[in-house]
């Protein structure tokens, strides 16, 4: 039973239909394990691990304790020109989990900050190498790299850009969704050739003007777009051939979602830079990171500038925040100790089976999945692509499931700690709802 009414006027909610929410709020007042508690006292299954960030479930004691201890010990110390031990320990730990050669870490506080940091590093790298004309950035249609100006510019979801005017000098590869791959379980076999579009971009702009290509190995926000077999390999080959840095935005795929520590590992392709956030702290404290090849870092350190010169004029007040570092170290330890990345590999076929069983339900136009991520695309109603996912999401909340809707899809990224029975219940409820909306 609700015991409280709220004044909802003052908070301008992020990425939210504020008017609809404030008419009929969905308020979460607790979280534990794989469930939320709503303010009317219901247990709600967390089918997106928060916002793709709480794969170890909620209320993990080891993480909470580490945060509590750190608050007592050092709640903040300056990260510019001074250090504290945990950020170095964490950078080493992250490096162990990355592909070989990627082992220098710059900390941020979010995926959006990681995106902009990586793009700035790419440009600064070419400048340091004596090639300042290499500034252009290439993203991909349906790509999501957060909301800051750099990430927005290379992003490829039009609705996220439309209100904000011009951004950075960038271009975009086509999305990897092909009609012949609809309802494909896991990675599509067909579509490697789509990477060759990068050669056309190079012919158009000249490799000498391009700093970097940035892609998510698996797009999350764009609606779980899975790379075709061979596609990322081909992209990497072309980048190498033309001296273009390849950035993998692994804000969603970092630390387990694909059944490996990184998407790079899951798909067998090593980029030059990897962006991280979300699962790094299990969502408990905001934190992100950009991991670069040692050779990129060295390029900044091998300078004739005096020793007191700052090599990269970039960083955030809260880069490497001690409390976030404590949360991240505890999270990475917990993921390893509980073998939760292996658990993703076990659950992936279960999710795949249940989600594809919904193929014949009304309105369903596509179903995609990989690792512990899946999306169901729904047909537009009267030309409105987002209304059905919206209505389905609201109905699922009433039925006891937090399900995220975005664009024309419902998206799923359950906790690594989900049980097979929980997944079965979730997709059974989704089936009921799809059958009940018009
Ligand atoms: N890059 C990628 C690949 C992301 O998925 C960001 C950058 C930005 O991260 P921050 O921490 O600034 O939000 C993201 C974030 C969804 C959803 O429902 C996805 C994200 C955020 C919120 C919701 O798909 N991705
Ligand atoms: N705006 C002003 C006026 C600032 O002084 C600072 C940091 O000192 C910033 C923005 C950047 O903040 P942050 O380092 O938290 O990203």
Under the banding of pLDDT at 50, 70 and 90, the label for residue 272 is very high
Q: Could you tell me which of 129, 178, 137 has the C-alpha nearest to residue 155?
A: 137
User: Within a domain: residue 8?
Assistant: no
How close is the Cα of 317 to the center of ligand 2, in Å? 7
Examine the domain organization and report whether 134 and 24 are in the same domain.
no
Examine the domain organization and report whether 191 and 325 are in the same domain.
yes
Examine the domain organization and report whether 51 and 167 are in the same domain.
no
- Interior angle at CA 211, CA 127 and CA 205, nearest 5: 120
Average pLDDT over residues 279-283: 98
- Tens of pLDDT along 401-414? 999 999 999 999 99
295 burial level (CB within 10 Å; 0-12, 13-18, 19+): exposed
d(CA 370, CA 351): 9
Residue 4 has pLDDT above 90, yes or no: no
Instruction: Give the residue from 337, 371, 397 where a domain finishes.
Output: 337
Examine the domain organization and report whether 284 and 349 are in the same domain.
no
- Give the CATH number for residue 181: 3.40.640.10
For 66, 82, 102, 319, the CA distances from 87, given in Å and listed in that order, are 14, 11, 17, 9
Average pLDDT over residues 240-261: 98
Q: What is the pLDDT of residue 141?
A: 97
Domain count for the chain: 2
Instruction: Report the atom number in ligand 2 closest to the C-alpha of 317.
Output: 14
User: Within a domain: residue 2?
Assistant: no
Q: What is the pLDDT of residue 249?
A: 99
Under the banding of pLDDT at 50, 70 and 90, the label for residue 2 is low
- Tens of pLDDT along 104-159? 999 999 999 999 999 999 999 999 999 999 999 999 999 999 999 999 999 999 99
User: Within a domain: residue 131?
Assistant: yes
Residues 6+ apart with CB under 8 A from 191: 176, 178, 181, 227, 228, 229, 231
Examine the domain organization and report whether 264 and 353 are in the same domain.
no
Are the C-beta atoms of 208 and 243 separated by less than 8 Å?
Answer: no
Examine the domain organization and report whether 50 and 138 are in the same domain.
no
- Tens of pLDDT along 330-353? 999 999 999 999 999 999 999 999
- Give the CATH number for residue 395: 3.90.1150.10
Out of 315, 317, 318, 321, mutate this one to test ligand 2's pocket (max ligand atoms within 8 Å of CB): namely 317
Under the banding of pLDDT at 50, 70 and 90, the label for residue 3 is low
Examine the domain organization and report whether 150 and 178 are in the same domain.
yes
Residue 1 has pLDDT above 60, yes or no: no
Examine the domain organization and report whether 298 and 416 are in the same domain.
no
Nearest CA to ligand 1 atom 17: 221
Q: Is the CB of 142 under 6 A from ligand 1?
A: no
Examine the domain organization and report whether 221 and 358 are in the same domain.
no
Instruction: Report the atom number in ligand 2 closest to the C-alpha of 315.
Output: 14
Range of the domain at 263: 64-337
User: Within a domain: residue 259?
Assistant: yes
Nearest CA to ligand 1 atom 1: 145
Residue 437 has pLDDT above 70, yes or no: yes
User: Within a domain: residue 431?
Assistant: yes
Nearest CA to ligand 2 atom 2: 317
- Tens of pLDDT along 252-271? 999 999 999 999 999 999 99
- Tens of pLDDT along 388-401? 999 999 999 999 99
Nearest CA to ligand 2 atom 6: 317
Instruction: Give the residue from 312, 337, 362 where a domain finishes.
Output: 337
d(CA 75, CA 28): 27
Instruction: Report the atom number in ligand 2 closest to the C-alpha of 113.
Output: 16
Examine the domain organization and report whether 75 and 46 are in the same domain.
no
Are the C-beta atoms of 26 and 405 separated by less than 8 Å?
Answer: no
Average pLDDT over residues 266-293: 98
Are the C-beta atoms of 288 and 107 separated by less than 8 Å?
Answer: yes
- Tens of pLDDT along 308-328? 999 999 999 999 999 999 999
Rounded to the nearest 10 degrees, how much is the dihedral formed by the CA atoms of 333, 335, 341, 347? 160
Examine the domain organization and report whether 23 and 169 are in the same domain.
no
Q: What is the pLDDT of residue 5?
A: 85
d(CA 436, CA 377): 16
| Alpha helices, DSSP H, located in 316-405 | 322-337, 340-356, 387-398
Instruction: Give the residue from 322, 337, 352 where a domain finishes.
Output: 337
Examine the domain organization and report whether 237 and 247 are in the same domain.
yes
Closest-lying ligand to the alpha carbon of 318?
2
């Amino acid at each position: 039973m609700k015991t409280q009414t709220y004044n909802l006027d003052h908070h301008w909610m992020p990425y939210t239909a504020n008017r609809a929410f404030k008419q009929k709020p969905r308020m979460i007042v607790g979280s534990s394990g794989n469930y939320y508690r709503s303010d009317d006292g219901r247990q709600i299954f967390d089918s997106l691990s928060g916002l793709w960030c709480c794969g170890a479930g909620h209320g993990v004691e080891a993480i909470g304790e580490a945060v509590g201890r750190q608050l007592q010990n050092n709640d903040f110390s300056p990260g510019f020109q001074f250090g504290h031990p945990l950020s170095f320990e964490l950078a080493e730990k992250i490096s162990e989990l990355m592909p070989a050669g990627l082992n220098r870490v710059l900390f941020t506080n979010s995926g959006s900050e990681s995106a902009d940091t990586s793009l700035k590093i790419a440009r600064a790298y070419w400048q340091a190498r004596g090639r300042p004309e290499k500034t252009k950035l290439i993203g991909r249609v349906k790509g999501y790299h957060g909301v800051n100006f750099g990430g927005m510019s290379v992003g490829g979801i039009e609705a996220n850009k439309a209100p904000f005017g011009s951004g950075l000098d960038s271009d975009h590869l086509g999305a990897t969704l092909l009609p012949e791959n609809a309802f494909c379980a896991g990675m599509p076999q067909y579509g490697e050739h789509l990477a060759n579009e990068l050669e056309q971009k190079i012919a158009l702009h000249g490799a000498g003007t391009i700093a970097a290509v940035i892609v998510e190995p698996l797009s999350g926000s764009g609606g779980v777009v899975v790379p075709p077999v061979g596609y990322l390999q081909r992209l990497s080959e072309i980048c190498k051939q033309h001296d273009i840095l390849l950035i993998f935005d692994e804000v969603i795929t970092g630390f387990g979602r694909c059944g490996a520590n990184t998407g790079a590992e899951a798909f067998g392709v090593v980029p030059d830079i990897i962006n991280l956030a979300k699962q790094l702290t299990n969502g408990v404290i905001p934190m992100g990171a950009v991991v670069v090849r040692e050779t990129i870092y060295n390029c900044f350190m091998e300078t004739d500038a005096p020793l007191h010169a700052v090599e990269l004029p970039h960083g955030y007040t809260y880069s490497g925040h001690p409390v976030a570092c404590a949360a991240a170290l505890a999270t990475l330890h917990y993921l390893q100790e509980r073998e939760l990345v292996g658990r993703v590999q076990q659950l992936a076929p279960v999710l795949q089976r249940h989600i594809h069983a919904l193929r014949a339900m009304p309105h369903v136009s596509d179903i995609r999945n990989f690792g512990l991520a899946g999306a169901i695309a729904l047909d537009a109603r009267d030309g409105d692509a987002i209304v059905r996912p919206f209505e389905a999401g609201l109905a699922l909340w009433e039925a006891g499931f937090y399900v995220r809707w975005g664009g024309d899809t419902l998206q799923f990224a359950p906790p690594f700690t989900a049980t097979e029975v929980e997944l079965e219940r979730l997709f059974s409820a989704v089936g009921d709802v799809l059958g009940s909306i018009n």
